[in-house]
Amino acid sequence: MSEKFSLPLIGGLLAGIATSLCCIAPLVLLSLGVGGAWISNLTALAPYRPVFIVLACAMLVIAYFQLYETTDKQRCEEGKVCAEPSTQRLYKKLFWCVVAVVLVAIASPYLISIIYG
């Protein structure tokens, strides 16, 4: 379960971060004191933002079904790490943390415009 589950979860996290690169990366770099005309090139990813959003949501849906599906195919053999209840709880907590990061990344352009008005 761990190998099957970690790939969509990591993919969802990376796609979620990629959705916010056009907006958050220039803001973070400017906040750190990095400046220059080249920072405006970071907004080149803005047209691909919908693709990253769809990719992040698809990966999270796959991870959700792999995590919460209880068919015999998804069950771990006795004695493996993924069969431990504590590991399953950790995966579920990690999944919901990644969902929160992806939602913040998707909403970041709107949040930034509200904050900096």
Lowest mean pLDDT among 10-24, 39-53, 57-71: 10-24
What is the mean pLDDT of the segment spanning 57-73?
77
Domain that holds residue 36: 2-116
Tell me the per-residue pLDDT of 23-59, one tens digit each, with 9 for 90 and over.
666 667 777 777 766 666 666 777 878 888 888 888 8
Query: How much of the chain exceeds pLDDT 70, in percent?
Result: 64
* Residue whose C-alpha is closest to residue 56's, from 22, 113, 100, 112: 100
Of residues 2 and 29, the one with the higher pLDDT is 29
Question: What's the mean pLDDT in 90-107?
Answer: 85
Residue 1: pLDDT band by 50, 70, 90 thresholds? Answer: very low
Total tally of structural domains belonging to the chain:
1
**Total-model pTM:** 0.66
**Which pLDDT score is estimated for 85?**
77
pLDDT at 78 over 80: no
